Amino acid sequence: MNIDFSAKKGFICDMDGVLYHGNRLLPGALEFIRWLQENNKQYLFLTNNSSLTPRELHQKLERLGAHVPEEHFYTSALATARFLKQQAPGCSAFVIGEAGLLNALYDAGITMNDVNPEYVVVGEGRNYSLESLTKAVNLVCGGAKLIGANSDVSGNIEHGIAPACRALIAPIEMATGKQAYFCGKPNPLMMRTGLRLLGCHTEDAVIIGDRMDTDIVCGTESGIDTVLVLSGVSDMDTVNTYAYQPTAILEGVGRIPECASAN
């Protein structure tokens, strides 16, 4: 099925594997960003990576040659903080994660607590260690609820993949017998927030990503047209293993301006 990109008002776009791999910008990414801005599209870069703040993501793209203001980024860390603020305002948490997750939780009024927190929250992070893992396991055994920033098993880096949140939280689940609740994609709460931030209805939006199990299923279940790009972790063999299919499949986001001009 073809998508009339020129008629779409809102674009929700993943980042890792779509715009860049690690610190390497992917072909066509700059052209796609310029097309969004020059055509006055509403756009949001929606990432499951919880380690970076919107300011850091803005600065990262600046270093790679693309100017995208901070308000165009929304992360699984922000989605996690929003969820906890709604569920238990003023709660406390033991957190394994980076600045993106910690800052989002602080800004939502959630305090850090390694003695008797209501929640254990896990995201990607370099402070993941046997010590922090053991602390998390015992806090969950003591009654803390287990939250994951996202359910990605792996993420793209420049020369391969790295374990992501789902892989990092799995030992805690196995040791405690407790299942984590994940706040990032494909949780529909994150998608609904994205649409609200864009001010778009589902029929006016499109979601672009490189993962069938997060980006594409999220869009499919939300009634949004989906574009799978083959610049990340998925190829055509991957697509064929799923019962649901993307609305369109492209080599990369650089093809979107071309497709729009052809309509």
Cβ atoms within 10 A of the Cβ of 102, count? 22
Q: Is 14 a catalytic residue?
A: yes
Give just the sign of the alpha carbon dihedral 159, 55, 34, 234: positive
> CA 86 to CA 152: how far, in whole Å?
23
> CA 149 to CA 102: how far, in whole Å?
11
Cβ atoms within 10 A of the Cβ of 8, count? 20
Q: What is the dihedral of CA 88, 90, 92, 98, to 10 degrees?
A: 100
Q: Which of 16, 152, 213, 225 is catalytic?
A: 16
> What is the radius of gyration, based on Cα positions, of the chain?
18
Q: Which of 14, 210, 215, 225 is catalytic?
A: 14
Q: Is 16 a catalytic residue?
A: yes
Pairing of strands 111-112, 92-96: parallel
Residues designated catalytic: 14, 16
